[in-house]
A and B are shown apart, each in its own frame.
Chain A
């Protein structure tokens, strides 16, 4: 009944939507799972996650002009998403999801076969990972142990995949592991001061290849902002520097935010001082603080003020 209602409503959205319906068969189920969160169970939610997950495979699979299968560097995302969506370790179940992916990507038979073959090899590799004997591994948090684990991992991968496949599936991941190890080595170095470590790690992040740098560029920008705030105590200098770094519009927005933050802090300090004076000079009722806060704050600001003062 509910699905009928939904379908009718969506039909009203127009022919285009209906045409797309055939391209995205997972959507009605996803919607069904979402329509009644009050009665949802974890399996229902899983249904949503799984059905939605199938298009994930479309991230990196780029069909060529004749819709053949091309191995790209994002292929591991595709394979992992299919496994996650299948939510099963049964090969047939996973392959069913993969075939659905072939259909969505409109891969030709040969292209789909190539894709499925790669997935099967990937599954065999993932099973082999599980069967590695703990006794044969040098586990632990020491750098040398982690390096050794990653070396063993690479050996296993190379045993299952051609150089081309290895490069596409694990090339970037291996780079990320090496970079993370290098950062950890810097962080653990007994010969560097904290500032030196920070400078070296930041330099490493800023010199990553473009694609990897993109992942951290926004966070690094926020760190730049934090440094600007630390370096310049007067508002004017801060804003000039922020404008140089983030542009005029961002600087204007920052000016507003900083002004609001400072004003709220000042109000809090004033109230805290008033409260300190009150507790010294008179016997106060249990709800005195609440009354005092309500005189100065409303709504969510009042809730924040209560929370902050409780932990000061």
Chain B
């Protein structure tokens, strides 16, 4: 019954929008959108280019967009507390009542933390390839950096692939933000994400790969997710070879670092877009052929969905 009422409300809301009102306002959400980067993604000099062209597209379509600054590598709760402080200040500066959070990769659990401990400040939490149920790559890399560990064969290949991936995206400069790489890696292991899910369960499906996460969590926050399901996508993409290697850690659909199933949170918009882990945020320099998904369009459509829901 609750779902029916919700559906009617949603439909009523949709019908209120006339086509003529879309011009330049297609993604004009009620609440500001805050984008949250993933592991190692943030360089305090080049923060502007992490979600490449996404703020431009959302802003062009009427959204007010913030790119949050949290530690490039740290425990989820540490990043979450940093994000919470940022959100509180965004609300103070704008006078808005809530924000719409969109987090990529480790940004997924990060936004979930904020939505869980401060739901009164969060209208929605959209997880893009969120590491919501761990990553075999993190499991393997974490094992690989244990003293006396000896990786062999395929495990070594995956470890090397991840190292190459890190090499490509490093240059990350945390500025004054505290960094703890081991804590970050641990946070993304399957074991730790399960602990995290038990403490902050809102929006999570009942089992790995299940599709039954609540659209509206028990805390009143809307939850969404989407992710890519490809590793090698584009000859222009410098990260493809590295992600093709890390993809070997999976025996299921994945984007090179996160499995489609692990990305599930709340309402799963789609879990196998033709994108790898960096394509999802339009890296690098966002070149897409017809057989890939244009990630910027996905963000803009999500903006429109949030707008239609009155968020």
Chain A positions near chain B (C-beta within 8 angstroms): 2, 5-6, 9-10, 13, 17, 20-21, 23-24, 27-28, 30-31, 34-42, 45-46, 48-49, 52-53, 55-56, 58-59, 62, 74, 77, 80-81, 83-84, 89, 104-105, 123, 126-127, 129-130, 132-134, 137, 139-141, 146, 149-150, 153, 172-173, 176-177, 180, 183-184, 186-188, 194, 197-198, 201, 205, 211-212, 214-216, 218-219, 221-223, 225-226, 246, 249-250, 253-254, 256-257, 260-261, 300, 303-304, 307-308, 310-311
Contact = CB atoms under 8 A, between A and B. Distances in A.
Contacts of A42: 211, 268, 270-272
B198 to A, nearest CB: 12
Nearest to B113: A307
B6 interface: yes
Contacts of A39: 212
B85 interface: yes
29 contacts: A10-B8, A20-B16, A30-B10, A35-B3, A39-B212, A42-B211, A45-B268, A56-B300, A56-B301, A62-B23, A123-B290, A126-B288, A126-B289, A127-B290, A130-B291, A139-B238, A141-B238, A180-B285, A183-B46, A212-B56, A214-B59, A215-B55, A218-B64, A249-B95, A254-B89, A257-B92, A300-B119, A307-B77, A308-B81
Nearest to B85: A261
A56 B304 contact: yes
Given A89-B291, A194-B173, A77 B15 contact: no
A141 B272 contact: no
A24 B212 contact: no
B154 interface: no
B26 A55 contact: yes
A187 B173 CA distance: 10
A59 B61 contact: yes
A221 B116 CA distance: 27
Nearest to B219: A300
Contact of A37 (B55, B58, B77, B213): B213
Given A58-B22, A222-B89, A36 B3 contact: yes
Given A84-B294, A211-B60, A254-B92, A45 B300 contact: no
A216 B48 contact: yes
Contacts of B214: 37
Q: Is the interface of A mostly helix, strand, loop or mixed?
A: helix
Given A42-B272, A77-B60, A187-B46, 11 more contacts: A10-B15, A52-B304, A59-B22, A59-B60, A126-B290, A133-B235, A197-B45, A222-B66, A253-B93, A254-B89, A257-B89
A59 B28 CA distance: 11
Interface string B26-66: 10000010000000000111111100110111111100111
B166 interface: no
B11 A153 contact: no
Contact of A300 (B46, B55, B90, B117): B117
B290 A130 contact: yes
Contacts of A256: 92
B19 A58 contact: yes
Given A80-B294, A222-B66, A10 B89 contact: no
Which 7 A-B pairs rank lowest in CB-CB distance, beginning with the nearest?
Answer: A130-B289, A126-B290, A35-B7, A129-B289, A253-B92, A307-B77, A215-B59
A176 B290 contact: no
B2 to A, nearest CB: 11
B45 A187 contact: yes
A21 B12 CA distance: 10
B150 interface: no
Contacts of B22: 55, 58-59
B204 to A, nearest CB: 13
Interface range, B side: 35 or more
B305 interface: yes
A151 to B, nearest CB: 12
Contacts of A48: 267, 269, 305
A58 B301 CA distance: 12
B17 interface: yes
Contact of A10 (B6, B12, B48, B267): B12
Given A59-B26, A215-B55, A129 B11 contact: no
Interface string B294-311: 101110110011001000
A80 B297 contact: yes
B65 A218 contact: yes
Contacts of A221: 93
Contacts of A180: 48-49, 52, 285
B118 interface: yes
Contact of A250 (B66, B93, B300, B301): B93
Contacts of A41: 211
B18 interface: yes
B291 to A, nearest CB: 5
A259 to B, nearest CB: 11
Contacts of A146: 284-285
Contacts of A126: 288-290
Nearest to B224: A45
A16 to B, nearest CB: 8
